[in-house]
Chains A and B, each alone.
Chain A
Amino acid sequence: MQRNAGFTLIEMIVATAIAAIVGTTLMVTLRRQERFYSSSAQMLHVRAQLRDGGDILTSDIRGAAIERYGLPLMTDTAVEFFGTIGSSVVCETPVGQTLFLPPDTVSSGATLTSLLATPDTGDIALIYAMRGGVPDSAQWVDARIAAFATRSLSTSCPPSTGFASSADVAAGERGYALTLMPSVPTGIRKGAPVRFLRRGRYSLYASSSDWYLGYRRCNAVGSSSCGTIQPVSGPYLSYRGQESPDAGLAFHYFDASGAEVTDGASSRLVSRIDIVLRGATAREVALSGDARVRYRDSAVVSVSPRNRAR
């Protein structure tokens, strides 16, 4: 008889109380856990954006042609330069307005043409030319690009040039035809290296309520005139003066001796650019315990352009 008896009221109350305490603790823990993971996701996003911006700026500034063209614009939060978008070699000593370049991939495995972006009429070609035919007189000469297009291998960079083979012709590889304006510089020989430069400007700009690192493509020659801005990475903290500890982006320019360059007229002397990027989470996050703070982080990167005055 005793075995079939139910629970007493006291037993039920105690059991319910224990279940309630355990349940509440569980809920609190799981909620805190959920908050921690969403907070860390936001924090990691801030770090990733800082790394992204730093990587993009350093790789582009490293290849910028500063010795030749300087920095058409250098401010605390914007920098304009001629960046390298590709390189190639001349297949044949040119006759007329057009230079011919080998395809991206050739069967020998060599990379002769490498393009990050397709050059067009707004870009500049720098070609290593022997003026006067004396090797020691070789120097980089520039010309604007009138046209750039692919062309069948046999009419651009045929096997007879030695740069491509008949296997490449059979594989349907296409070379490139590069037309220059106003004229092809003198002294360009077969095998001369070519670099393609594009003028562009990086700056911090506001879009709705957030601040981003943006890129604008600019005209190849003359005073600056740039197209619409495209976001590159972000969001970062807002624009402030260069020295502010809250500035989202700040550039500092230095010459070879380590002295700061502030005058745009001396931009060809710039041999190092220090970049500071700062970001914060959009909302307050809880990373340890219940304290809610806006997580902030910063990145300081130095970059030394390779094509600079020495």
Chain B
Amino acid sequence: MEKARRGFTLIEVVIAIVLLAAGALALAGTAAVTARRMAESGRRSSAVSMARSRAEVSMASPCGSLASGSETVRGVQSAWVATLAAASAELSQRVSYPTSRGQRSDDFLTAAPCP
């Protein structure tokens, strides 16, 4: 009876506190994951914006002067191929950027009329 009503020993309480702290400290690790995700989403949106701008630049120039090419800006590689048809031009682009799970790439296809 005496034994059953006994409270926690000091050692038990200390161990409990340390365990709690270890759990709470694991929270700190989430910051690193969040930071990495944010950096990735930043690169991804610059990649999309670069592709959009490239399509606009191509549309601004006469169809005859469209050319294929590539560039690397802010860690984002982009490569584009221009294809000319009778009355239109097509620009197919691939932008790729590093993520925690390796290189990722997005493809874009833009068509523009040739007056």
Contacts and interface: CB of A to CB of B under 8 A. Distances in A.
Interface of A: 3, 7, 11-12, 15, 18-19, 22, 25-26, 29-30, 32-33, 36-37, 40, 43-44, 47, 51, 54, 58, 254, 256-258, 271-272, 287-288, 297, 299-304, 310
Nearest to B53: A302
A33 B25 CA distance: 10
Contacts of A257: 61, 65
A272 B57 contact: yes
B27 A33 contact: yes
Nearest to A8: B10
Contacts of B61: 256-258, 271-272
B contacts with A: majority SS: helix
B56 A40 contact: no
A302 B28 contact: no
Given A29-B24, A258-B61, 14 more contacts: A7-B10, A15-B13, A18-B17, A19-B14, A22-B17, A26-B21, A32-B28, A33-B28, A33-B31, A37-B34, A257-B65, A302-B53, A304-B56, A304-B60
B115 interface: yes
B21 A22 contact: yes
Interface in B1-55: 2, 6, 10, 13-14, 17-18, 20-21, 24-25, 27-28, 31, 34-35, 38, 42, 45, 49, 52-54
A304 B27 CA distance: 47
Nearest to B63: A310
A288 B33 CA distance: 12
The 10 closest A-B pairs by CB, nearest first: A272-B60, A304-B60, A302-B53, A22-B21, A302-B56, A304-B56, A271-B60, A304-B59, A36-B31, A29-B28
B18 A301 contact: no
23 contacts: A15-B14, A18-B14, A18-B18, A22-B17, A22-B21, A25-B21, A26-B24, A33-B31, A36-B35, A40-B34, A47-B42, A47-B45, A54-B49, A58-B56, A271-B60, A300-B49, A301-B52, A301-B53, A301-B56, A302-B56, A302-B60, A304-B56, A304-B60
Given A32-B28, A310-B115, A304 B14 contact: no
Interface residues of B, number: 31
Contacts of A44: 38
B62 interface: yes
Interface of B: 2, 6, 10, 13-14, 17-18, 20-21, 24-25, 27-28, 31, 34-35, 38, 42, 45, 49, 52-54, 56-57, 59-62, 65, 115
Contacts of B42: 47, 297
A15 B17 CA distance: 10
A299 B2 contact: no
Contacts of A22: 17-18, 20-21
Given A29-B25, A272-B60, A301 B10 contact: no
A105 B13 CA distance: 71
A58 B49 CA distance: 11
A54 B6 CA distance: 69
Nearest to A32: B28
Contacts of B6: 3
